[in-house]
A = this chain, B = another copy of it.
Amino acid sequence: MPLWIDDEADERPRVPLSRRRVLRAAVELADQAGLDALTMRRVAQELGVEPMSLYHHVANKEAILDGVVEMVIGEILGAVEGEEGPDPAGDWQAALRWRILAAREVLLRHKWAPGVIQTRSSISEAAIAYYEGVLGILRAGGFTYDLAHHALHALGSRAMGFTQEMFEPDNPDDDMDPAMLEQMGMKYPHLAGMMAAIAHEAPETTLSWCDDNTEFSFALDLILEGLERRRLG
């Protein structure tokens, strides 16, 4: 057992703490260990520092949550502004779809983020900038401000790539034991029928039969088409 593997002795040559370093550690922690692991004490531990040291760089835990949201939306903003999407003056639907799917890709790397974002009461500047971009696309596509406003509400959190399903999507073992499925046919004939129909159509997917990306795109296109009709009508 060589001594020089000791991973606590020389934790990097003393890079000083900073708000940014605290928030980066917090995001990494949530990515790796889930939102429940995001405690002041564990963030401090990750940084090799005493819990109380954090308070010199962030006001409190709420400020950390505000901060990680800021970082994630910043990452989204970087993704949509770093690359060139379709020209909104030519095809606003393609442009908006591109932007939203880019945002969604970032959120898939931070699955805990939507839940936190929705608990924030004030809108971060990064979010404002993102929405400004969405509005720009709609305007370039010929929307009045009034219709664009309705459009923002209609998209809701989906405008930033949120999935909006009723229950946690990441739960692979959504049980359904055979006995329960048996009696489901009696009490819930339509649900049983739907599952049978879909299992028949795509038998390879057993029972995790819903492809997230397909369903997200279906819903998004539905809304975009509806908005286009409102715009023309």
Q: Are B145 and A193 in contact (CB under 8 A)?
A: yes
How distant is A34 from chain B, measured CB to nearest CB, in Å? Answer: 12
Listed in ascending order, the chain A residues whose CB lies under 8 Å from chain B are 115, 117-123, 127-129, 131-132, 135-136, 139, 144-146, 148-150, 153-154, 156-160, 162-168, 171, 174-175, 184, 187-191, 193-194, 196-198, 201, 210, 215, 218-219, 222-223, 225-227, 229-230
Q: Are A226 and B215 in contact (CB under 8 A)?
A: no
Closest residue of chain B to A35, judged by CB? Answer: B119
Q: In the complex where A165-B157, A222-B223 touch, is A191 in contact with B132 (Cβ < 8 A)?
A: yes
Q: In the complex where A188-B128, A197-B146, A198-B146 touch, is A166 in contact with B174 (Cβ < 8 A)?
A: no
| A215 neighbours in B (Cβ, 8 Å) | 150, 153-154
Q: Are A164 and B171 in contact (CB under 8 A)?
A: no
A171 to B218, CA, bound (A): 32
**Is chain A's binding surface mostly helix, strand, loop or mixed?**
helix
Interface centre among A121, A145, A225 (most CB of B within 10 A): A145
A230 to B225, CA, bound (A): 11
Q: Are B165 and A156 in contact (CB under 8 A)?
A: yes
A184 to B227, CA, bound (A): 26
Q: Are A129 and B188 in contact (CB under 8 A)?
A: yes
| A153 neighbours in B (Cβ, 8 Å) | 165, 210, 215, 218-219
Choose from B121, B129, B148, B225 the contact partner of A171 (Cβ within 8 Å): B121
| A162 neighbours in B (Cβ, 8 Å) | 164, 166
A5 to B119, CA, bound (A): 40
A136 to B142, CA, bound (A): 39
Instruction: List 19 extra interface pairs beyond A128-B184, A146-B198, A150-B218, CB under 8 A.
Output: A115-B119, A120-B167, A122-B175, A132-B187, A132-B190, A136-B190, A145-B197, A145-B198, A146-B201, A150-B215, A154-B219, A154-B222, A156-B163, A156-B219, A157-B164, A157-B166, A162-B164, A222-B223, A223-B223
